[in-house]
Structure 1
Amino acid sequence: MPLMRIMIAVSFALLLVFRAMAGEPLALPTGRIFWHKETRKIDANVSGLSLSKVLAKLSRATGWKVYLQPGTDRPLRVKFNGLDRGAALRLMLGDLNYAVVPALTGGTEIRIYQNNPAAATELVVDKNDRSPSKDWLARELVVSLAPNSKLSIDELAKKLQGTIVARSDQMKSYRLRFDSEESAAKARELIEEMDGVRADNNYAYHRPDQTAGVGLDGRGDFTISPTTTSDGCNVVVAMLDTAVQSLPANQAPFLLKPLSVAGEATVDSSKPTHGTAMAQSILNGLNSVTRPGTGSTVRVLPIDVYGNNEATSSYELAKGMYAAVANGASIVNISSGGTGDSALLNDIIDYARSQGTIVFAAAGNAPTTDPVFPAANPNVIAVTASDTQGQVAAYANRGEFVDLMAPGTSRIKFNGQSYLVTGTSPATAMMSGMAAGIDDCAKGADANAIRTWLERSYSFRGQK
């Protein structure tokens, strides 16, 4: 698939705030409101945005619970700087009244109404707020430019007083870091006033646990070999993970030249990396659905999204997804996850799915029902782990977003020693490998057929 075509299509997926008509930017409603924590003053510059949305922004910044009387929402046009709460509310509310009362659970509660405070029953929330996550990188923004934007990201970063710590000119998306959370918040508010620019949150994705060596016998030998078709077809499984080391001689030919979107990694050669374990687990899954002694056109493309860092971020994962699609991946394996729901990553996953790419992601090694991303994206197949009895493993996520459940153990070999890998990571990798085997060029199954086959044997629905 041509890289330019992918770049244009992905860029169009980011056009939520970038729409234009007849070559001219639309006159979209704008709203900037900023809360100064130290002075407890408010700045605002709002033109056409609804009162409820402005109040939602203020609620998010201050922690106040704001209730609005139903039927009183209206477009707001106001501009001021450095006002205290009372003066700011009087300018914003016009003929509406407000009451400030202590909340029963602590903090401040504000009720906005016409005649009776009891009529203010609608809690104002920011439906686009993705920040309440323990993995939120509050000093960072992911800034994306529209395809036709003439803005220079370097000049924009200087204006916003941020530092570009990672960039993708192909995606026109950039990772900016600021000196403080307040500086990042102010930069976000400034971006909301600009045409052709979008600011999204960035989230940390922590490095997966390393594997541990155990004494194992030689069962489960790898019995297939790489092959090609007359038209040179390969089914590519892109694996977004840590760096990959050398694989055993009978598996090494299945590995394509690794890529990295996070810089070169220095790898400890004394034990297998998580990426090495997942690459072998993918091949174990492939081996399980391929007739012994036959060949396979499947290849694994390792994409390092961690480098030497203790954690990656949703931005690097988005870059990895972009690289996977650009390099023709039919299947993408993500054996990691976090609590943050990234808009940029979702855009690229959605585009990949529209092109027929199947994305598998681990549901997480915590016995909760909390969503883990990107597994909880509707266009991702979320995989949890089962125990030896075929039940959901004691350590594994069992949330409503989970689609498949697969055995949570995988046997791998490294430097002559055997290892047993446990968790939703190898379960996910096994599913990716099985899907690749079904998608093998000689079989020609499409995405729907692959999912139907997997759900027939590995559906999690009966466990919910």
Structure 2
Amino acid sequence: MATLCWWAPPGRAADSLVWRTGQVDAEIEAWPLPKVLESIASATGWQIYLQPDTRYTVTTRFHKLKPADALRRLLGELNFALLPQSGGPTKLFIYRTSVNEATQLIRTAGKSKAETALIPNELIVALKPGAKEGIDALAKRLGAKVVGRLDGLNAYRLQFDNEAAAQSARAELESDSNVGSVENNFAITPPASLEPLAMSSAPPLSLKPDVNPSSDRIIVGLIDTPIQRQGTVIKDFLLTGLSLYGDYQPPADQVTHATAMAETILDGVARALRENGNSSAKVPLSILPIDIYGGNESTSTFDVARGIFEALNRHANIINLSLSGESDSELIRSLVQEGAKKGVLFFAAAGNTPVTTPSFPAADPGVIGVTAGDAQGNIAPYANRGAFVQAIAPGLNVVHFQNQAWFGTGTSFSTAWVGGWAAGTMANSSQTAAQIQSQTLTRWGIPAKR
């Protein structure tokens, strides 16, 4: 239970808001809305998001109301959505027009979990063309195992017994004339959360695929987790994908990150078609899912590079990277540069930490870094706002799997919205990739940079 009281003038009892588990009392006179929300957040531990520029004054008195009824009395004509979460604090969104606009955090969340972590006993090694010593001989000499191969780029993932062995080998590799580059490998997690909604209806996807073979079909490479086909609205748009983890099958009772991103990409496509006056058109567009996670909670910079390489080899026009890391990778950067030269558009998540430090690959040249925020350009309080960020879009969406609606938040969703919009614009246009990129940044760019 929490009781919050404030001084009141003589002759009137002090205002109070008493929030017990399952029961709320209030004696409130002319409280500004932020004060009410701060009190609720303090009493409950909820993360509360408000639509910016919402002005409302609360005067109410009630006793022993259930929390949902108390919220209705406290918030009056304002809309709200309460989202319980199994793995974190409940989220409360308060808005006038759309839940997408509720981006102002009332109470700062606890310290965010780092999205990247060094894999201390691994290195990524790229050999020079024509190297005299092959990777297997080199690994044996250093006492390492080759646990990942990208032969097309002469790049390999080496695993050592411990961190000390890896660092000793790095010192030796940096002076080896056969080695083009050596870098650390990092674990990367997708910056998004997904929770089931208690009530929702699944509207049919408004897009119709163009199933005719076409040399100019748009392919969106989705570098992500395993994707689900059955029980989704996206299956008709999915190409046969590729998994770096063989025949791993995702769970049947939990929507995966990739499935959510694919539906959000298609929502972005549909939005582009509506805004361009082509909402009834069939779409010559497919999504190429590439699983770089398998059943793991994180992937690595090396496997991100492998995913990009495979997408480029399969002629992707757009590559969606709804993931974020803190460390740059020379291997990823070189792949992006090569793809960008050929007209491939890259979109990557800025990350779910409210800092200005660069995140990668979003900050790499040739990548459009996307953060979360509203249509006025207000960046969501949880999202990266660094100078490298070029685009801003809603950091949330409602997606559907097995007749269940799921609510997701994070810059992952922002990235999929913008990448999908670019794909939808490209699908029914004869414009060049450079023109599509310019048009996309005009539509979704940070207002100060448009």
Instruction: Give your verdict on TM over 0.5.
Output: yes
Letter in 2 for 1:139: N
- Cross-structure match for 2:409: 422
Q: Does 1:352 align with 2:339?
A: yes
Letter in 1 for 2:241: P
Instruction: Provide the rounded CA distance (Å) in 2 between the counterparts of 1:429 and 1:209.
Output: 11
Q: Does 1:279 align with 2:265?
A: no
- Does structure 2 retain, via aligned residues, the 8 Å contact 1:135–1:340? no
Letter in 2 for 1:278: M
- Cross-structure match for 2:307: 320
Letter in 2 for 1:386: G
Out of 210, 226, 241, the residue aligned to residue 243 of structure 1 is 226
Report the secondary structure of 1:182's partner residue.
helix
Please give the residue correspondences for 1:223-262 in structure 2 after superposition, counting only pairs within 5 Å.
223-228=206-211, 231-246=214-229, 250-262=233-245
- Cross-structure match for 2:442: 456
Q: Does 1:270 align with 2:253?
A: yes
Which whole-Å deviations, capped at 9, do the CAs of 1:102-130 have from their partners, x for residues lacking one?
xxxxxxxxxxxxxxxxxxxxxxxxxxxxx
Of residues 415-424 and 332-341 in structure 1, the stretch that sits farther from structure 2 once superposed is 415-424
Instruction: Provide the rounded CA distance (Å) in 1 between the counterparts of 2:413 and 2:162.
Output: 38
Please give the residue correspondences for 1:298-313 in structure 2 after superposition, counting only pairs within 5 Å.
298-313=285-300
Distance 1:459 1:208, change over 3 A: closer
Out of 295, 304, 320, the residue aligned to residue 333 of structure 1 is 320
- Cross-structure match for 1:42: none
C-alpha RMSD of the superposition: 2.2
Which whole-Å deviations, capped at 9, do the CAs of 1:271-292 have from their partners, x for residues lacking one?
1011110011111111111233
Report the number of matched residues.
331
Instruction: Provide the rounded CA distance (Å) in 1 between the counterparts of 2:145 and 2:247.
Output: 21
Instruction: Provide the rounded CA distance (Å) in 1 between the counterparts of 2:156 and 2:251.
Output: 30
Q: Does 1:167 align with 2:157?
A: no
Q: Percent identity?
A: 36
- Does structure 1 retain, via aligned residues, the 8 Å contact 2:124–2:182? yes
Instruction: Provide the rounded CA distance (Å) in 1 between the counterparts of 2:133 and 2:289.
Output: 34
- Cα deviation for residue 387 of structure 1 reads 4.0
Of residues 426-435 and 189-198 in structure 1, the stretch that sits farther from structure 2 once superposed is 189-198
Q: TM-score if structure 2 supplies the norm length? A: 0.69
Out of 176, 181, 198, the residue aligned to residue 194 of structure 1 is 176
Q: Does 1:214 align with 2:197?
A: yes
- Does structure 1 retain, via aligned residues, the 8 Å contact 2:116–2:188? no
Instruction: Provide the rounded CA distance (Å) in 2 between the counterparts of 1:460 and 1:404.
Output: 5
Q: Does 1:376 align with 2:326?
A: no
Q: Does 1:343 align with 2:343?
A: no
Report the secondary structure of 1:439's partner residue.
helix
- Does structure 1 retain, via aligned residues, the 8 Å contact 2:354–2:383? yes
Q: Which runs of 5+ in 2 are unaligned?
A: 1-114
Instruction: Provide the rounded CA distance (Å) in 1 between the counterparts of 2:213 and 2:159.
Output: 49
Q: TM-score if structure 1 supplies the norm length? A: 0.67
Letter in 1 for 2:175: E
Letter in 1 for 2:316: A
Distance 1:276 1:439, change over 3 A: same
Distance 1:320 1:230, change over 3 A: closer
- Cα deviation for residue 185 of structure 1 reads 1.8
Distance 1:357 1:163, change over 3 A: same
Instruction: Provide the rounded CA distance (Å) in 1 between the counterparts of 2:169 and 2:302.
Output: 18
Q: Does 1:154 align with 2:136?
A: yes
- Cα deviation for residue 308 of structure 1 reads 1.9
Letter in 2 for 1:193: S
Instruction: Provide the rounded CA distance (Å) in 2 between the counterparts of 1:421 and 1:388.
Output: 18
Report the secondary structure of 1:174's partner residue.
strand
Instruction: Provide the rounded CA distance (Å) in 2 between the counterparts of 1:188 and 1:322.
Output: 25
Instruction: Provide the rounded CA distance (Å) in 1 between the counterparts of 2:119 and 2:255.
Output: 29
Report the secondary structure of 2:412's partner residue.
helix
Instruction: Provide the rounded CA distance (Å) in 2 between the counterparts of 1:134 and 1:213.
Output: 26
Report the secondary structure of 1:244's partner residue.
coil
